[in-house]
Amino acid sequence: MRVIKSRTYLPLPLDTGSLFLIENDLNPQKEELERLLETTNNMNNKDFSKRVLFGQEIKSNNTIEGYYDDISLVKSIIKHPSSCLNEEQRKRVLNMYRGYKYILQDKEINKDNLRELYRILSDGLLSKEDLSNMGEYYRLDPVYIFFSSVLSKEPDMGVDASLLEERMNILLEYLNSNNNFSCMTDYFIRSQIAHFFFVYLHPYYDINGRTARTTAMWYLINNEAYPYIIFNRAIQLDKNKYYTVIRDGRKFHNVTYFLNYMLKNTLFELEKEYTIEMISDNAMYELTDGEIQTLYYILSMKSNLTYLDFCSFYNHLNAHKKKNDIKREVIIPLLEKEVIIEGRETNNQENNFFGLNPKLLEIDERNKHLSLEQKLL
């Protein structure tokens, strides 16, 4: 017998029809997230937001767009802007930093404040042509949405410019109405529906993705759903899937694909964050931002770890470095602090296995999702 699933239609019009979701398909992920957040209070406060925003989240949001700035460089540019000689690199880091400071000010998400956020995020990064063709709030001409570098794949189009004012007003009204949810995860779901619809509309010529994701974070902060602001980390690890589920949602008018992707992967990121906090609390020495990033990478890898495995993963998300430099700068400091320990040798003496120090971890049900038994020695 075929079961027909109930659709919930959203007040967000597409070119034909309206966006919808299938709520029952989201319930298993929602329940897992709520169970996890019931067990920890460390992430559910504004201080957590400030700690993760001004570093890893700047890097993650930019990495999604193909900019692989190392976390140490991000931190250095924030503290000493003049130390970076690359003007575009400095702008994209500082713009994100200033944009995140802006959304922490408890400002209402309205038309004028969104325009100011976009001005901050796009400052110095738009072409003269794009600037000259912008209206007071949104673009005036068509724009293509490129989800792939493969030229044979036809790009999508942003919504017709003549409809942007009306559609963006609908989006802003959606974000600011009926927000008395009973659980934190419902705020996250609404933030990601807005994220999806913003990308669908593509109201600007450039910097649409970063603005969409930052607006979703803004909504989460305004509604005190602080743990969920780390969702960019999930996207940067699986960008191809991110673009695929956006295109599927666009094609079938069904945002459930996208929401399930975001819920599942953000659950993994929160589990990693929980584990990293446990390691940091139990470590003998204070961990640097770079060392915390290394732990995040270790927890993100899906198999037993060797040095060469880690180097490949590291270079996938950062400006390329030689393997020996990665080992010296990234791995050895954590070995010296006994946060990770060496394991069995391989035929290549320079490529031993390594893993997390089990003395720093308490294995429980939350950790098992991360296959930590494969990351411990």
Domain ranges of the chain: 8-31+38-263, 283-374
Q: How far apart are CA 211 and CA 279, in angstroms?
A: 33
Q: How far apart are CA 340 and CA 357, in angstroms?
A: 5
Please give the residue that has the higher pLDDT: either 32 or 348. 32
Q: Is 144 exposed, middle or buried (0-12, 13-18, 19+ CB in 10 A)?
A: exposed
Label residue 375 by pLDDT band (50, 70, 90).
Answer: low
Mean pLDDT, range 183-200, rounded to an integer: 97
Label residue 155 by pLDDT band (50, 70, 90).
Answer: confident
Domain 283-374 has CATH 1.10.3470: no
* pLDDT tens for each residue of 38-61: 887 788 888 988 888 998 999 999
Percent of the chain with pLDDT over 90: 74
Residue 334 confidence (pLDDT) above 80: yes
Q: How far apart are CA 211 and CA 203, in angstroms?
A: 10
Residue 303 confidence (pLDDT) above 70: no
Query: Phi-psi region for residue 178, left (φ > 0), alpha (ψ -120 to 50) or beta?
Result: left
Under DSSP, is residue 117 helix (H, G, I), strand (E, B) or coil? helix
Residue 356 confidence (pLDDT) above 70: yes
* pLDDT tens for each residue of 97-145: 999 999 999 999 999 999 999 999 999 999 999 999 999 999 999 999 8
Q: How far apart are CA 124 and CA 109, in angstroms?
A: 23
The angle that helices 111-122 and 87-103 make with each other, rounded to 10 degrees, is 150
pTM metric for this prediction: 0.92
State residue 38's pLDDT score.
87
Mean pLDDT, range 316-328, rounded to an integer: 93
Is 275 in contact with 299 (CB distance < 8 Å)?
yes
Mean pLDDT, range 70-93, rounded to an integer: 92
State residue 3's pLDDT score.
46
Residue 372 confidence (pLDDT) above 80: no
Token pair for 373: 């038994």
If we measure between CA atoms, which residue out of 233, 267, 302 comes closest to residue 64?
Answer: 233
Residues 6+ apart with CB under 8 A from 259: 21, 26, 189, 192, 193
Please give the residue that has the higher pLDDT: either 148 or 295. 295
Q: In 10 A of CB 235, how many CB atoms?
A: 23
* pLDDT tens for each residue of 224-248: 999 999 999 999 999 999 999 999 9
State residue 347's pLDDT score.
73
Which contiguous run of DSSP H or E holds residue 246? helix 239-252
- The CATH number of 8-31+38-263 is which of 3.40.140.10, 3.40.605.10, 1.10.3290.10, 3.30.470.10? 1.10.3290.10
Residues 6+ apart with CB under 8 A from 279: 287, 295, 339, 356, 360, 361
Mean pLDDT, range 308-330, rounded to an integer: 93
State residue 41's pLDDT score.
74
Lowest mean pLDDT among 87-101, 119-133, 176-190, 346-360: 346-360
Under DSSP, is residue 10 helix (H, G, I), strand (E, B) or coil? strand
